[in-house]
Structure 1
């Protein structure tokens, strides 16, 4: 999966800092996690809630795909 254009919101960066989650773990969750919620009607772009278990803990990632 190509992560060249991955952008973290300020909220995501703050939460990653507080929860001690690094960008590698987020990328792993996006690449290998399970989509547990799809919002295809979100405008202007669809969004997904992804669940993965990284380092023995559950990690939820909210992702929007910008075309």
Structure 2
């Protein structure tokens, strides 16, 4: 059973569309990427900068 759940803000969806980034790419980066920076004070939720090379 796959228990992964992703909620995207309107801003995130707009940025993904503008940058031609698919939902599947986002899921891959979250699952396999390297966290290279943390932003615990971001609001409304903490955020991270992730790195993963997709061919």
Q: Name the residue aligned to 1:14.
A: 14
Q: Give runs of ≥4 in structure 1 deviating > 4 Å.
A: none
Structure 1 residue runs of 5 or longer lacking an equivalent are 56-67
Report whether the alignment pairs 1:49 with 2:49.
yes
- RMSD in angstroms over aligned alpha carbons? 2.1
CA deviation after TM superposition for structure 1 residue 12, in Å:
1.0
- The normalised TM-score by structure 1 is 0.63
The Cα shift of 1:45 comes to 4.6
TM-score by length of 2: 0.74
Aligned to 1:32: 32
Q: Point out the structure with the larger strand share.
A: 1
Q: Which residue does the alignment assign to 2:4?
A: 3
How far apart are residue 50 of structure 1 and its match? 0.9
**How many equivalent pairs are there?**
53
Cα distance in structure 2, aligned partners of 1:44 and 1:13: 17
